[in-house]
Amino acid sequence: MSFTRFDRYVDRHARSFTERLQDLCRMPSVAARGTGMRAVAEKVEQMLQRVGAGTRAFKVGSGFPIIYGECGAGPRCFLVYGHYDVQPVGQLTEWSSGPFAAVVVDGVLRARGASNSKGDLVARLAAVEAYQKTYGKLPVCLRFVVEGEDGLASPSLYRFASENAGLLRADGCVWDDGYKDTRERLVINLGFKGIAFLELRAYGARTDLHSKWGGIVPNPAWRLVQALSTVVSPKGVITIDGFSSHVAPLTSDDRQMLKTIELDEAGLRREFRIGGWLHGMTGRELAKELIFGPTCTICGIRTGHTEAGAKTILPGAATARLDFRLVPDLTPELVVTLLREHLDKRGFLDVEINELGSAPYAKSSPASMVARAAIEAAGEVYGQPPVVYPLDPASGPVGAVCGANDPPTPVVSFGISHAGSNPHGPDENIRLDDFIQGVKYFGRVIHGLAALEDEAPQKRAQTALVKLNK
């Protein structure tokens, strides 16, 4: 099928699509603060209705609305996940322009949410519009699920999924996370690491004290640091008792895909402004650790006096936030249990562990229909084969959406960001050329989802791996 008419429509309406994205990005929707969330949810529902989707807003408890929209028809049905909430903006002084100004400079749109992930949502809705305007009704059923609590660990989405499994029944799922790497190659992910986001807390006196008491009053900051030092070794190895024994070995498919992945190490170092990688890793070892290695990251430590000016105090409490990125067969529940046992065994029974959020890992085969459609459509739009990761090093509520039914729904993830988009950080941005490419790409994915033949599982696996190794 020729996409000439489709591409012409997209090019003619590129300015309109960009303005729609700017309008959405100008509406603050920071879930952590709750400001403007319902207005943005209503806007998203209107955007879905604009492309002919039948919609419904689900309110789960006191959470923010989940917008469900369904359009198209056919023997196959696919989920399309998105989220309309964005991360906190951080320090305004670190932004080149207002985080919700959504200004375009030299073809780059800067705004909180442009990359993560309002840009992906608008691009996919634009593709649906362009397909319908140029070729008629969608050849497959698309079920959009757009939530507002991605930044809060998606509590409403898990409950929604358990209560509405029928709405989530599908042949595959398209997720909203992906980018072009430093070599301008599209990155496609076939799954996500899980996550256990925890807070460790230690207590001393009932309040901060003059530091003269430091010789006789317990210091919770030292207590917490000492506990943390038992969790990861000086060489960066996670040393929680029994942790490594639960990490599953790589499958044959994993090993085959790993052979096709080559990180642009020099380009990434320049982008991050770092001198080298942990443990001096390089090559295949570095790629393997990024994709298949579990992590334990200290995300922040809060204790004592950290503002300007001297203040000699003994802290009354100390808190550290950690996230564990999880690979097969590590689960959030298992990690919490192992960590509690590990600390207790070393006498840190007084250090509290509070669970702030979690998500299980999700992993799909390159032979799934949704993965094949995404991989096969990439070359025509991007001019070169995509880089396919068995697991995205990031995490998300994939298990809620794709694990609502048995067997789990296969997932594939890609997006319109680039290596310098800086989601979660200041000056979050996308390049408008990438945004328009993303519209054209998703149109082809839609067609591929309808056109692919359903091969036998073994043949599908062989075909997918052959294409990845070309």
Write the DSSP string, 447-467. HHHHH-----HHHHHHHHHHH
What is the reported pLDDT for 331?
95
* pLDDT of 337 higher than 90: yes
Digit-coded pLDDT (tens) for 388-401 = 999 999 999 998 89
What is the reported pLDDT for 467?
53
* pLDDT of 461 higher than 50: no
Dist. CA 194–CA 332, nearest whole Å: 7
What is the reported pLDDT for 80?
98
Cα–Cα distances in angstroms (integers) from residue 321 to residues 63, 160, 198, 201, 228, in the given order: 24, 28, 6, 9, 11
Section 230-252 average pLDDT: 95
Digit-coded pLDDT (tens) for 43-100 = 999 999 999 999 999 999 999 999 999 999 999 999 999 999 999 999 999 999 999 9
The model's confidence at residue 452, banded by pLDDT at 50, 70 and 90, is confident
Residue type, 305: H
Section 344-357 average pLDDT: 96
Nearest CA to 314 among 203, 199, 200?
203
Residues in CB range of 196: below 8 A, 6 or more apart: 323, 324, 326, 332, 335, 336, 355, 358
* pLDDT of 446 higher than 90: yes
Section 267-284 average pLDDT: 91
What is the reported pLDDT for 454?
53
The model's confidence at residue 457, banded by pLDDT at 50, 70 and 90, is very low
* Contact (Cβ atoms closer than 8 angstroms) between residue 219 and residue 212: no
Whether this prediction's pTM lies above 0.85 is answered by yes
Neighbouring CB atoms inside 10 A of 92's CB total 9
Residue type, 424: H
* Contact (Cβ atoms closer than 8 angstroms) between residue 111 and residue 207: no
Section 341-368 average pLDDT: 95
The model's confidence at residue 468, banded by pLDDT at 50, 70 and 90, is low
Nearest CA to 442 among 383, 381, 372?
381
Section 331-348 average pLDDT: 98
pLDDT, greater one: 262 or 213:
213
Percent of the chain at pLDDT > 90 equals 87
* pLDDT of 206 higher than 50: yes
Digit-coded pLDDT (tens) for 103-134 = 999 999 999 999 999 999 999 999 999 999 99
What is the reported pLDDT for 470?
52
Digit-coded pLDDT (tens) for 407-434 = 999 999 999 999 999 999 999 999 999 9
Digit-coded pLDDT (tens) for 135-171 = 999 999 999 999 999 989 899 999 999 999 999 999 9
Residue position matching structure tokens 């939530």: 147
Residue 77 backbone zone (phi > 0: left; psi -120 to 50: alpha; other: beta): beta
Domains, in order of start, for the chain:
4-192+361-468 (3.40.630.10), 194-247+293-359 (3.30.70.360)
